Structure 1
């Protein structure tokens, strides 16, 4: 990274090492979730279009959460 980029990062993040650590942690969580989803589909089959649509709605916050769905 150039000096200007590092300075900009410091201004944006106020703590460049903390920002970097959070970015790494986010990528690790993303990879682990992907691994879990692949493993689930290997055991139970592919997700249906309806399941994927419901998951996308929940992730985006547009779906109502009903009791008994396991949502936290």
Structure 2
């Protein structure tokens, strides 16, 4: 198990109330949210670096990526609710 560090985080009361409705393990929930955000940031950094070296992604490359992510066979339409 990795080591941990106790910190204090200040959140709006409404968010804390909703968070407590979602989980009994607030620390675990917040840790996973932070890990997800870090992965998102690192991926964005990698994509910007790649485009800086190789040029912008083409529409075809983006459609292929969306198809792989969302299973849409390159239609450009997302299958999730977002």
TM range (shorter): 0.7 to 0.9
- Which TM-score applies when normalising by structure 1? 0.73
Which residue does 1:34 correspond to in 2? 44
Q: Distance in 2 between matches of 1:15 and 1:61?
A: 33
Determine which structure has greater relative contact order: mean sequence separation of CA pairs < 8 Å that are 6+ residues apart, divided by chain length.
Answer: 2
Structure 1 unmatched runs, 5+: 64-72
Q: Distance in 1 between matches of 2:52 and 2:18?
A: 44
Structure 2 unmatched runs, 5+: 1-11, 74-82
Q: Distance in 2 between matches of 1:32 and 1:58?
A: 20
- Which TM-score applies when normalising by structure 2? 0.65
Name the Cα RMSD after superposition. Answer: 1.9
Q: Distance in 2 between matches of 1:7 and 1:39?
A: 39
How many residue pairs get matched?
A: 63
Larger proportion of helix:
1
Offset at residue 35 of structure 1 (A): 0.3
Offset at residue 7 of structure 1 (A): 4.4
